[in-house]
Structure 1
Amino acid sequence: MSSQALLSVRDLRIAFGAVEAVRGLSFEVRPREVFAVVGESGAGKSLTARALLGMVPDGAAVGGDVRLRDSTDLAAERGRRITFVPQDALSALSPVHPVGDQLAAAIRSVRRLPRGQARARAVAALDRVGIPDAGRRARAYPHEYSGGMRQRAVIAMATVNEPDVVVADEPTTALDEERREQVLRVLAEQREAVGAALVLVTHDLEVVREHADRVLVMYAGRAAETGPVRQVLGRPRAPYTAGLLASLPQDGPRRRRLPALRGAPPAPDALGPGCAFAPRCPLASDRCLDHEPASRAVDGREVACHHADDMLGPLREFV
């Protein structure tokens, strides 16, 4: 782990039997930064996010090293130093307990406080994330909240104990445009208030442009490109990153999710010996088909591509 890293991932591998869904992933998250993870469905983004919290599915074999400062026991740190904002807030909240009671329980799991003090903190936390009439709403059940309010309540739960890292897995997918912007604003405000870093898994490149400091672009369980947002999205060096950017509309309304590139990602059990993106890539050569590229430093970022030095920007050959 470098001296700048708060969270360090080294050679992360997640396998289900003989099939690897995440293949040798390495990256670092620095204190207070927003680190985005993007890629098409099936790239391994959500599995990676859950591995950071020690929450991989049953049956998954995990290899490599995931370290939060001096600790590798991520399950023990969950809820205290590293917390989670899920895609579906309703499934993350108990349907049979008031929201305020659940938030108070999260507080008491970390801090030795009387119930009354924990409840007062829970109400204050709901108020900070913009829940109207927080004292009354704390007594309500999750199904009595709107989708946006539930997501804000989950953000309150994720930040109330002042963690070092918040992991948010597609936190706005189920929301409309107005509520999406509200939730992103609340998430930014709360993580800044407690001084936490944010790992943001998203399909939305515009959210990455507006909110993230650095970005990891994943493809078929590996890192295609990792670096500062301005460099990676401004002048991509991985053809896959370029393809994502090229397929975005240039004018008109903003599209919220990444449109599909030509072709489809490979199944994890159907990977060949070379670059997983080669069958979809206009720059692919025989070397790409036969040899998987190693990650290397190029122009201020890490890129896994044999042709990274040939890249000049978005490739219109993709669309």
Structure 2
Amino acid sequence: MKPEAAREAPLPPEALLSVRDLRIAFADGTEAVRGLSFDVHPGEVLAIVGESGAGKSLTARALLGMLPRGATRSGSIELQGTTDLAAARGRRIALVPQDALSALSPVHPVGDQLAAAVRSVSRVPRKEARARAVAALERVGIPDAVRKARAYPHEYSGGMRQRAVIAMATINEPDVLVADEPTTALDEERRDQVLKVLAEQREAVGAALLLVTHDLDAVRRHADRALVMYAGRLTELGPAERVLTRPLAPYTAGLLASLPQNATPGRRLPTLPGTPPTPDGLPPGCAFAPRCTLATGRCRHEEPEPRELDGRLIACHHREEA
């Protein structure tokens, strides 16, 4: 976890990863991600947040060249000069998946799988790859790593499996880690443990982190910047502390108000009315307008474009007119 002063420090101007006008469409022509642009800077933690269906995980998968069958991508994704995402995967950009159990092969020892990840990008002897696998397991806090490297995933606890996939993602010291909902379905104690290990390993290899999550508390504690998505588009992007304490977008404010920890004792917990639209059921204008108490006629007919305001990006007509 970074100190508050570090979070407010200015980011370097150069981008490690640049995404411009990213669009992801399905075979029927509906777009699930619609014109998304952002940068990831060296060493930073950028969190992507929003309700289910916002396009967060699709965006993360696009960065790794791992879109589902039938989905197509347009726009540009550049990782320090390269656009060959498949070639960069595992070497310069790596995934920490949501489901550690399904991410590991049940028929191969965990150490063999980590060693294979090493040999997939480096022509090193098997003995050296094996030694690096054991060292990676030790780094993430797995006890008796030599013996555990010979064990199969079903012989690991759930928390140890999650540590193992973090070890696999960081074993080749990538420039960017993409963590797609790494704490989903974990209890609070295991969630904190996983986030701590992820933060330690990210810092150990000097990687930037793109954290896809529903957990706004994790964003507050671990992220430098937060990108709020709604219906496949950017709603708000800025320093995490300011986005979470002084949101500019009505959607961001609604998300935060609905958190139990922000409830006023004795009062009913506010909720966002309605549900997010599906990609094939987008309303005209701003996609959030049907759920927004501040929506005007302009909101219902004209989609807002992101613009800079108070050191962040925001897409909201209300803020343009305020």
Same fold by TM-score greater than 0.5: yes
Counterparts of 1:10 and 1:117, CA distance in 2: 39
Match of 1:280 in 2: 291
- Counterpart of 1:136? 147
- Which residue in the other structure is 1:151 paired with? 162
CA shift for structure 1 position 231 = 1.7
Which of 215, 223, 230 is the aligned partner of 2:234?
Answer: 223
Q: Say whether 1:182 aligns with 2:193.
A: yes
Counterpart among 24, 32, 35 of residue 14 in structure 1: 24
Residue in structure 1 matched with residue 93 of structure 2 by the alignment: 82
Match in the other structure for 2:266:
none
Counterpart CA distance in 1 for 2:193 and 2:271 is 27
1:11-57 Cα distance to aligned partner (Å, 9 max, x none): 00000121000000000000000000000000000000000000001
**What amino acid is aligned across from residue 288 of structure 1 in structure 2?**
C
Offset of residue 143 of structure 1:
1.0
**Structure 2 counterpart of 1:53, from 52, 60, 64:** 64
| Corresponding residue number in structure 2 for 1:292 | 303
- Unaligned ranges ≥5, structure 1: 253-258, 312-319
Shift of 1:230: 1.7
Moved over 3 A (4+): none
Structure 2, unaligned runs of 5 or more: 1-11, 264-269
Secondary structure, aligned partner of 2:305: coil
1:21-60 aligned within 5 A:
21-60=32-71
Alignment partner, residue 117 of structure 1? 128
Distance 2:271 2:154 in 1: 34
> Which residue does 1:166 correspond to in 2?
177
| Distance in 2 (alpha carbons) for counterparts of 1:216 and 1:260 | 21
Over the residues paired in the alignment, what is the CA RMSD in angstroms? Answer: 1.4
State whether structure 2 residue 213 is matched by structure 1 residue 197.
no
| Structure 1 residue 310 displacement after superposition | 6.7
CA contact (8 A) 2:256 2:262 kept: no
Q: For residues 182 and 260 of structure 1, what CA distance do their matches in structure 2 show?
A: 30
* 1:202-213 alignment, distance < 5 Å: 202-213=213-224
- Decide which of 223, 226, 245 is 1:234's aligned counterpart: 245
Name the aligned partner's letter for residue 264 of structure 1.
Answer: T
- How far did 1:3 drift? 4.7
Q: Name the amino acid aligned to 1:205.
A: L
Comparing 69-78 and 106-115, the one that deviates more:
106-115
Conserved? CA contact 1:36–1:212, under 8 Å: yes
Query: Could you tell me how far apart the structure 2 residues matched to 1:230 and 1:293 are?
Result: 24
1:218 Cα offset (Å): 0.3
Offset at 1:249?
A: 2.1
Contact 2:254 2:271 in 1 (8 A): no
Give the Cα separation in 2 of the matches to 1:174 and 1:161.
28
Cα drift, residue 261 of structure 1:
2.2
How much has 1:174 moved relative to structure 2?
Answer: 2.5
Q: Is the 8 A contact 2:34 2:232 kept in 1?
A: yes
